[in-house]
Amino acid sequence: MLYLSYSDYAALRAHGEETYPHECCGVLLGNAAPDGNHVRQIVRAGNTRTDRAHDRFNIAPEELIRIQRQARKQGLDIVGFYHSHPDCPAQWSQTDFAEAHWVGCSYVITRVDQGNAAITNSFLLTGTSEEDKKFLDEPVEIEVGSVENEQEKGHA
């Protein structure tokens, strides 16, 4: 299970809309627990694949190191990543699978149709090595309390 606040869920989808028709990407920070990955914060990252950003993404390792350092200071860890699929299904592709190496992490994919975020899915990378890794469909729980908080903020 991936646990995500409503504001983070909305923010990662909005990121995909902003970068359309290019892919967006970012990092999910939080804590891994026996019941799943709990996201406490999302961090936007730059897509270095400017040569074909419409169907590829890559996060610079230097940026990832910076994000990881900041996270550690807050007691958080990298628990997953997100990216968008402009006008493509919210399913992992062969490229996503080949390039996935963070076993135990959640890979969130949002389909963005003509600039509008559609379906968002999550896939948990499991396995013990490159040879036996696989993606499993991962349920996402949007924390309802955070929706109410957002609504309260809106009425304030």
Partner 1 sequence: MKINIPTPLRAYTGGQQTVSVPGATVGETLQQLTGAYPELRLHLYTPEGKLRSFVNLYLNDDDIRYLPQKEATPVKESDELSIIPSIAGGCRRYL
Closest by CA to 37, choosing from 62, 17, 8, is: 8
CA distance linking residue 20 with residue 86, whole number of Å: 6
Q: Is position 105 an interface residue for partner 1 (rule: CB under 8 A)?
A: yes
Q: Is position 154 an interface residue for partner 1 (rule: CB under 8 A)?
A: no
Q: Using the minimum distance from each CB to partner 1, give the nearer residue, 21 or 144.
A: 21
CA distance linking residue 121 with residue 55, whole number of Å: 17
Q: Which of 1, 10, 11, 64 binds partner 1 (CB under 8 A)?
A: 64
CA distance linking residue 89 with residue 118, whole number of Å: 9
CA distance linking residue 117 with residue 71, whole number of Å: 27
Q: Which stretch binds partner 1 (CB under 8 A): 2-10, 12-20, 65-73, 136-144?
A: 65-73
Q: Is position 59 an interface residue for partner 1 (rule: CB under 8 A)?
A: yes
Q: Is position 85 an interface residue for partner 1 (rule: CB under 8 A)?
A: yes
Name the CA radius of gyration of the chain, rounded: 15
CA distance linking residue 95 with residue 120, whole number of Å: 18
Q: Which of 70, 74, 102, 141 binds partner 1 (CB under 8 A)?
A: 102
Q: Is position 51 an interface residue for partner 1 (rule: CB under 8 A)?
A: no
Number of chain positions touching partner 1 (CB under 8 A): 43
Q: Which of 50, 93, 116, 151 binds partner 1 (CB under 8 A)?
A: 93
Q: For helices 144-155 and 6-19, what crossing angle results, to 10°? A: 80
First to last CA, the chain: 32
Binding site for partner 1 (CB under 8 A): 23, 25, 27, 32, 49, 52, 55-59, 61-62, 64-65, 68, 72, 77-79, 81, 83, 85-86, 88-89, 92-96, 98-105, 107, 125, 129-130
